[in-house]
Amino acid sequence: MTDSPFTGLVLGIESSCDETGVALVEVRAGATPMLLAHALHSQIDMHQAYGGVVPELASRDHIRRVLPLTQSVLTQAQRDLAQVDVVAYTRGPGLAGALLVGAGVACALGAALGKPVLGVHHLEGHLLSPFLSADPPEFPFIALLVSGGHTQLMRVDGVGRYDILGETIDDAAGEAFDKSAKLMGLPYPGGPWLAQLAEQGDSAAFKLPRPLLHSGNLDFSFAGLKTAVLTQAKKLGSDLPLRKADLAASTQAAIVEVLCAKSLAALDETGLQRLVVAGGVGANRQLRSQLDAACARRGVRVHYPELHLCTDNGAMIAMAAAMRLAAGVAQADTAYAFDVKPRWALASALAA
C-alpha cells in the first residue's frame, strides 16, 4: 500500500545568511502548492558598515527576528501555529551559526507542536522559487542558478531530479558582481549597486575577458574577470571615479554575456524549450532582458521568480519543502536532533 500524497500547511524558515525569512505554504491535492503569507527581515543595513556579512551578528539578529516574523506570517494568513503540519528549515549550505538558529527554532516548534520537521537545501529553494509565481514553469527545464555563492546550469526533470550540466570552477557570478563592486568602492552587497551604476555607463568602454565563453562545455569561471576589473581600476587611478559607471557597465556586460551564452548552449545541448533563472543575480535587469530577447528569438519560454523572491526568503524554503513532500521524494520526521550543513552539495542532499 502506498501512502497518500502529503496535503497540509508547511511553515518554512530561512536563516542561512543575512536574511531571516518565514512563510506559510499550503499543499492541496493535485495543485501547485500555494503561498499563503511570507515575511522577511534583511540584515543588509546592519552589515553594511562592515562591508560584508559578520556571521556572529547575523546569528544574533536571526534569533531576534524569527519568532516575530513567524507570528506575522500566521496573522497575515489567519492561521494559528497548531494548524501547521510540517515545519521546514534551511539545513544548508550557509553560515553555520545562522543555520543553527533556523534549525533550532524549527525543531523546537516541531517538538512543541508534535509535528514533523524537514531540512531543505537552500539551492533547491532557489531552484523551485519560480513555482511561487503566477505563471509557474512545467518540467522539464534548464535552470540557471545564479546566487551569491553558486553558479550552475542544471537539467531539471522533476522535483529532486536535477542533473548538473555545468558550474563555476572558481567564483560565482554573484561574487564577481560583489567583488568588482567592492573594488569600485560601492556598498555591500555590491551586485544591485553595480547594476544600478551600470545603467549610466557604456558597456563597450572597457574590453574585459569573457572567461570560458568558448570552452566547449557549460562550466563558468569568474575569478579572472575580477582580476581584470582590478587591473583596469588601478590603471584608471585617479580617473576611476569619473569612469566608474563605464567600468560597472563593462563588468556587467561581461558577466551577462557569459551567463546568456552558456544558458543558450545548455538549451541547444538538451533540446529543451524552457529556461528557469533563479537566485539573487536573477534579479539583474540586463540579464533578464538579454535572456528574454535571445530566448524569444528561439521560441524558448523563460521563467523567473518574482523580483522580490529572487534573493533569499522563507517562501522558497516552504515551497521546496512543500513540493518535495507533495511529490513524495521526502518525508518530514519527528527526530528533532538536528544538524546543519554549512557546506552541502545539492547532489549529495538528494542522494541522502
Contacts of 96 (CB under 8 A, 6+ apart): 55, 340, 342
C-beta of 178 vs 312, nearer to Zn ion: 312
- The HSE-up count of residue 100 (CA atoms within 13 Å, CB side) is 8
Beta-bridge partners for 87: 11, 117
Q: State the nearest-atom distance from the C-beta of 241 to ligand KG4, in Å.
A: 21
Stretch that binds ligand KG4, among 47-55, 83-91, 174-182, 314-322 (CB under 6 A): 174-182
Q: State the nearest-atom distance from the C-beta of 30 to ligand KG4, in Å.
A: 30
For residue 214, the tally of other CB atoms under 10 A from its CB is: 6
Q: Rounded CA gap, 172 and 174, in Å?
A: 5
Q: How far is CA 333 from the centre of its chain?
A: 25
- Chosen from ligand KG4, Zn ion, none, partner binding at 284 (C-beta under 5 to 8 Å by type): ligand KG4
Q: State the nearest-atom distance from the C-beta of 191 to ligand KG4, in Å.
A: 2
For residue 179, the tally of other CB atoms under 10 A from its CB is: 20
Task: Order across the sheet with 19-27: list the strands.
Answer: 34-42, 19-27, 8-14, 86-92, 117-121
User: Which member of 87, 118, 195, 319 binds ligand KG4 (CB under 6 A)?
Assistant: 195
Q: State the nearest-atom distance from the C-beta of 194 to ligand KG4, in Å.
A: 7
Using CB under 6 A as the binding rule, whether residue 312 contacts ligand KG4 is answered as yes
Stretch that binds ligand KG4, among 95-103, 144-152, 203-211, 236-244 (CB under 6 A): 144-152
Using CB under 6 A as the binding rule, whether residue 201 contacts ligand KG4 is answered as no
Stretch that binds ligand KG4, among 4-12, 32-40, 154-162, 190-198 (CB under 6 A): 190-198
C-beta of 61 vs 312, nearer to Zn ion: 312
Burial 63-95 (b: 16+ CB within 10 A, else e): bebbeebbebbbeebebeeeebbbbbbbbbbbb
Beta-bridge partners for 156: 141, 162
- Chosen from Zn ion, ligand KG4, none, partner binding at 174 (C-beta under 5 to 8 Å by type): ligand KG4
Using CB under 6 A as the binding rule, whether residue 279 contacts ligand KG4 is answered as yes
User: Which member of 177, 222, 338, 344 binds ligand KG4 (CB under 6 A)?
Assistant: 177
59, 95 contact by CB (below 8 A): yes
Q: Where are the alpha helices (DSSP H) in 199-271?
A: 223-236, 240-270
C-beta of 88 vs 195, nearer to ligand KG4: 195
3-state secondary structure at position 54: coil
C-beta of 195 vs 249, nearer to ligand KG4: 195
For residue 301, the tally of other CB atoms under 10 A from its CB is: 14
- x/- string (CB under 6 A) for ligand KG4, residues 91-130? -----------------------------------x----
- Chosen from Zn ion, ligand KG4, none, partner binding at 141 (C-beta under 5 to 8 Å by type): none
Binding residues for ligand KG4, rule: CB under 6 A, are: 126, 147-149, 174, 177-178, 189-192, 195, 279-281, 283-284, 311-312
